[in-house]
Chain A
Amino acid sequence: MNFDLRFPIGIMFTLFGGMIAIFGLATSGNDIYTLGLNINLIWGAVMLGFGLLMLLLTWRGRKKNSPPRR
């Protein structure tokens, strides 16, 4: 079955992480959103990193499994 699960996981977490990190940036300094940590920015960046790592692994997996060029 040619379906690499890492790809949708990577896309989803890149999207979620990016959305939350940008939201955290946009609302930084606003007390409503902050134990005083800008957790949206911090955790959004972590999720974004995980998503990008999954996409990198997908890309490497495809490269490894693709037929050699002539």
Chain B
Amino acid sequence: MQQIHLGGIDYSILLIYFGFVIGIGWGLKRYMKGSSDFFLSGRSIPAWVTGLAFLSANLGAQEVIGMAASGAKYGIMTSHFYWVGAIPAMVFLAIFMMPFYYGSKARSVPEYLKLRFDEKTRGFNAVSFAVMTVFSSGISLHALAKLLELLLGWNYNYSIAISAVIVLVYIFLGGLTSAIYNEVLQFFMIVFGFAPLVFLALRDVGGWTALKAKLIPVATSQGYAAGTWTQSWAHMGGYKENPMGADWFTMVAGLGFVLSFGYWCTDFLVVQRAMAANSMSAARRTPLIAAIPKMLFPALVILPGMIAIALHFASGNQFLPLGKDGTPDYNMTIPTLLAKYFPTGLLGVGFTALMASFMSGMAGNVTAFNTVWTYDIYQSYIAQKKSDHHYLWMGRWATVFGIVISVGCAYLASKFNNIMDMLQLVFGFVNAPLFATFLLGMFWKRATGHGAFFGLLGGTAGAALFHGLAHTNGTEVGIKGGWIAQHFPFNSEMAQNFTMAIVAWTTCFALTILISLATKRTKSDEELKGLVYSLTPKPETAHEPWYQQPVTVGILVLIVTVTLNIIFW
């Protein structure tokens, strides 16, 4: 792909944006008086801000670059990540889980596990989460620097240094509040940067009806039915009927239930935003406020991918750059569209939005890391009875070494791609069973600490064992699976991962129940008040207007989501 040349106005927009980002951190510095201000924003943020930050913390490279790539590769079926996965999970979090996270006064998700279960369960979750966040941050940093090198010819080392320093400065100064405020800024930047791209690309292709017609040869040339790229459910009857290689059960149970609920309901990176809200009502509304734009995001990130693959086929494979194997390089979908449709001026906004998405993903990981490190590792195991000022100081330095480790991981990813694949895989083993632990912990008072801990270990081992026995056709044995034997063949890696998640979750769920029944309860009903559904008074919402009642708004959000599924059936 040809390099893109930014004009003076484009660079001005980029520099002004960085100035605002650091300026917000500077403006918030004087409010950081204690550790609660730095790690929890003093629980003082209004719902509209935490809601947009909740959404934006997830708007990293994976979302913007990855979903557009999936839109090109799989078509409208990619919307299952939103309309089957994210939205129901966000509604569940708002209605059922936020009262425990917020009401228990836990300062982090691992701390909730300590209050509900025991120290070893918290330790396992805290350490695995802390390691995972700095590696994820490093991968995001590497992807950004690689993209800037490829598109603009920028030096890889300078890109890493500039991005890392900007994120470091604004988090070091303003803590979680600075990250949250900048995530809202990034949200608007991404919407304003990509909305005209969708408008111009859709106009170029001749509108939605013309796009549907142009996607027919994309599907039929690969042996699928004509509407496969524009119908989300009609071709989910069997795994051979669609490019995702998954049937409806694998999609609903693996992606919709295990992976999505596991991510949106238990990942501290996103839950931390809701925990910073200024009231229980605001904390519960946070995921619902995020769910409203999230429902419409497929139009912003998946539709461009569908348009790009239609243009690619219509132009005789000339539109997207080709990979070494001759297939389109799907990850270049968004940059290719930016270069084609945006003139100097708007190109600056588009590129700033792209950089903002990478940086918000990185900042989200770093703020989650510094909180879990300080509260769940440092304060719990290393220095227990220090002053509040000491923990504030540690949080700031955790930000520094979190960023330094992220930079190290970025260089590791650039040298040894397989190491990062391996780490991502191990994180997958650890994360898949996690939702079973939380579900039983919150809704079954008989679940014990031993049950939770060994259930988690068993679920992780179950995921690893399944991975060793499953294999995707056409991929190398080893990191892609099948390293013990190849008993379970799959048509796509995605279907293999969804099935692995189902196995891990089921193993953890069953083991936690069995071990809990075989071990004694260590927490009384009184101790579990505020931590378990049946023992906790329900939050009173009748006095609030209908649009602030989580159940009412949640039902409305689900009705719209079902409608979207039906429209694009």
Contacts and interface: CB of A to CB of B under 8 A. Distances in A.
Contacts of B184: 5, 9
Interface in A18-44: 19-20, 23-24, 27, 32-35, 37, 39-40, 42-44
Contacts of B17: 12
Majority SS at the chain A contact face: helix
B44 interface: yes
Given A16-B13, A33-B343, A40-B345, A5 B181 contact: yes
B31 interface: yes
B192 A13 contact: yes
B203 interface: yes
Nearest to B37: A1
A23 B313 CA distance: 35
Interface band, chain B: 20 to 34
Nearest to A32: B343
A12 B20 contact: yes
A20 B192 contact: no
Contacts of B20: 8, 11-12
B349 A20 contact: yes
A12 B343 contact: no
B559 to A, nearest CB: 29
B346 A19 contact: no
A24 B345 contact: yes
Contacts, number: 77
A7 to B, nearest CB: 10
Interface in B321-348: 341-346, 348
Interface band, chain A: 20 to 34
Contact of A39 (B16, B31, B188, B343): B343
Given A3-B28, A5-B49, A8-B23, A33 B344 contact: yes
Contact of A3 (B9, B31, B343): B31
Contacts of B341: 35, 39
B42 A1 contact: yes
A20 B343 contact: no
B188 A13 contact: yes
A47 to B, nearest CB: 6
Nearest to B201: A35
A9 B24 CA distance: 10
B196 A39 contact: yes
A19 to B, nearest CB: 6
A24 B49 CA distance: 32
Contacts of A34: 343
B42 A20 contact: no
18 contacts: A1-B31, A3-B27, A3-B28, A8-B24, A9-B184, A16-B13, A19-B13, A19-B345, A20-B345, A23-B344, A33-B345, A34-B343, A35-B341, A39-B346, A43-B196, A43-B349, A44-B345, A50-B192
Interface of B: 9, 12-13, 16-17, 20, 23-24, 27-28, 31, 42, 44, 49, 177, 181, 184-185, 188, 192, 196, 200, 203-204, 341-346, 348-349
